Amino acid sequence: MNLESNMINDEQAVEIFKALSNQIRVNILQMLKEPDNNFSPQAHVIKEKDFDGGVCVSDIRSKVGLSQSTTSQYLSLLLQSGLVEMKRIGQWTYYRRNEETIKQFEKYIGLKI
């Protein structure tokens, strides 16, 4: 598998720009950089290697102060753009950053913008 061939294209880049064109969504992505520091101690932050760093929707919701549905929609928008990944475990849905996409996005900015 060629690890250097994952460069995103213009279309996907625009989807990412849209996802980031909202301060709260940027904040969510930033919070997820350090879940242990940015969420309450009793938050559901996954520790297992399985989906390490994943945070559940309601914990994100209580940080951003939006309604449950808006939080959910913002997260699925971030998911569609590829900036985060998601895993459902039981009744919880965990979201965490997709560092691979973020790295390719950075690369795109440097080369194409």
Partner DNA sequence: AAATAATATAGAGATATCGCAAATTATCAA
Partner DNA sequence: TTGATAATTTGCGATATCTCTATATTATTT
Residues lying near a second copy in the complex (CB under 8 A) are found at: 10-11, 13-14, 17-18, 20-23, 26, 29-30, 102, 105-106, 109-110, 112-113
Interface characters, 1-30, with DNA (x: CB under 7 A):
-----------------x--xx-x------
Region 48-77 residues binding DNA, contact defined as CB under 7 A: 56-58, 61, 66-70, 72-73, 75-77
Backbone angles phi, psi at 30, to 5 degrees: -70, -45
Q: Residue 59 CB, nearest distance to a second copy (Å)?
A: 21
Element (H, E) at 88: strand 84-89
Using the structure block, give the residue that is written with the tokens 């939006």.
66
Round to whole Å and give the CA distance between 3 and 42.
37
